[in-house]
Structures are given as C-alpha cells and as structure tokens.
Structure 1
Amino acid sequence: MSKADDSRRNESRTFLISVAAELAGMHAQTLRTYDRLGLVSPQRSSGGGRRYSERDVDLLREVQRLSQDEGVNLAGIKRIIELTNQVEALQSRVAEMTEELAAVRAGQRRDLVKPQTSTAVVVWQPRQSRR
C-alpha cells in the first residue's frame, strides 16, 4: 500500500471527540481548547460535531509529547505544526515538479518546452518624459 493510500485510509476513519480524547490520552475539553487555539482542527459533521481523523489523533499525541516531554509552550507548538505543514507542502510540490521535469526530459510532455539557451542581448532604454 502506498503512503498516499495509507494517508487517505487514515483520513477516512473519523472519531467522535470522546473516542479521540481517549485514543490520545487526553480530556475532551483539552481537544476543544486545542481546536479553539488552532493546534488541531478536526473536520466537522453536518451537525457541527468534531470528527477527528487518525492523523488528528497522531497530531494530538505529538502536541502532548512536545508539551510534556520537551517543555514547548502552546504558541511554540502551533508554530512547529505550521512549519511542519509548510515543509510537507513544499516537499510535495518539489516531488510534483521533479516528475514534470523527468517527463519533459523523457519527451513525454509536449505541453512543456525545454528551455533554449541564448546569447542575445537586449538593450533597455528608458522612455523620454513627455513635457
């Protein structure tokens, strides 16, 4: 099973707040606080109830580890989560671009053109002001 398939499977299973709290070893009120602070933002049901994915539960455990074992405050944890999400997004984009580049080099992408090297020089001259 690929990492993407595993991720989709983990995102499809959701838990009520009471179950997620138990799985993470926390009180449900702590999960509500973390949601309010933007640390872990679960999906919402049509009725507005929180639905935690397995990824959310893993993130809750990481928040607890950083807080209790590493002594990081909640603002620091929020920043760590934001930076981690940015790194993951950038890594994903680099992977996409690497695949596109490989396809261009292999001649499989006709919509992208290989750059041409040029020795042309363009001289720029500012416009004369109109008076």
Structure 2
Amino acid sequence: MTTEGQDPLRRLDDPEYPALTMSQAADLLGVQAAFLRSLDSSGIISPHRSPGGHRRYSRRQLTLAARMRVLLDDGHPVASAEVIVGLQDELAAARADLARLRERPRRD
C-alpha cells in the first residue's frame, strides 16, 4: 500500500501509465526498437522518460504504435498514416457523442 492507501499495482490499469520499457514495448508489438524511436522522433508518440532518460511506454501509446504499424505495413507514408489515425479517432468520438445523444430522453 502507498501512503495514499492505494495498491501501487492499480497504476497498471491506467492506460496512460508508462509501464513498459522500449524493449518490452517492441517485443509486445513485434517491431524493432527503431520503429518506436522513429515514432518518437517524428512526434507521433512522445514516451515518458525515466530519471535515467530511458523511454517508457503506456498502453495508450502502444495502441497508437500498433495502429500506425498496420497503416505503414499497408504502404501508407507516415504523414498519411498519422492523418488516418487522427480521422479514425475523430470518427469514434463523433459516434460516441451520437450514441450519448440518442440515449438522452427527448424533451417535447
């Protein structure tokens, strides 16, 4: 237990928690570490840095890296893949908004 009374392992449930090293992230995604470094240098993913300067990746960042990999493997240039991912995210948000609006009671 931490001083706040919370189990420190609960942080692993947070999709933003930077839990994985670069090598762990690369192994999990089935990519070379250079792929993750290229996403970092292009500004697509900005991993957390440990006090020693090592990159740490969150689940949300790994999800983005996996989506980028699929698009790049399909032959899209990096800039196009980044735009596609952004548009997919906007569409998902719009669909979620629409679903919420449909669930609200109507005021006649």
Range of TM-score over shorter length: 0.5 to 0.7
The answer on 1:34 being equivalent to 2:39 is: yes
Aligned twin of 1:94: 98
In structure 2, what is the equivalent of residue 20 of structure 1? Answer: 25
CA distance in 2, matches of 1:90, 1:36: 30
Give the structure-1-normalised TM-score.
Answer: 0.56
Which aligned segments of 4 or more residues in structure 1 are displaced greater than 6 angstroms?
A: none
RMSD of equivalent CA atoms: 2.7
- The answer for unaligned runs of 5 or more in structure 1 is 1-7, 106-113, 116-131
Provide the aligned length of Structure 1 versus Structure 2: 95
Cα deviation, residue 10, structure 1: 6.4
Distance in 2 (CA, whole Å) between partners of 1:50 and 1:93 is 34
Is the 8 Å Cα contact of residues 39 and 77 (structure 1) preserved in structure 2?
A: no
Structure 1: which amino acid aligns with 2:22? I
Pick one of 81, 86, 89 that aligns with 2:85: 81
Q: Distance in 1 between matches of 2:102 and 2:82?
A: 30
Rg larger in 1 or in 2?
Answer: 1
CA contact (8 A) 2:18 2:56 kept: no
Percent identity of paired positions between Structure 1 and Structure 2: 31
**1:80 shift after superposition:** 0.7
C-alpha contact 2:29 2:62 (8 A) present in aligned 1:
yes
Residue number in structure 1 paired with 2:76 = 72
Q: Secondary structure at the match of 2:57?
A: strand
2:20/2:56 contact within 8 Å kept: yes
Give the Cα–Cα distance (whole angstroms) in 1 for the partners of residues 55 and 102 of structure 2: 37
Residues of 2 paired with 1:16 and 1:46: CA distance?
9
**For the Cα contact (< 8 Å) 1:35–1:41, is it kept in 2?**
yes
Residues 39 and 81 in structure 1, CA contact (< 8 A), matched pair in contact too:
no
The alignment partner of 2:56 has SS state of: strand
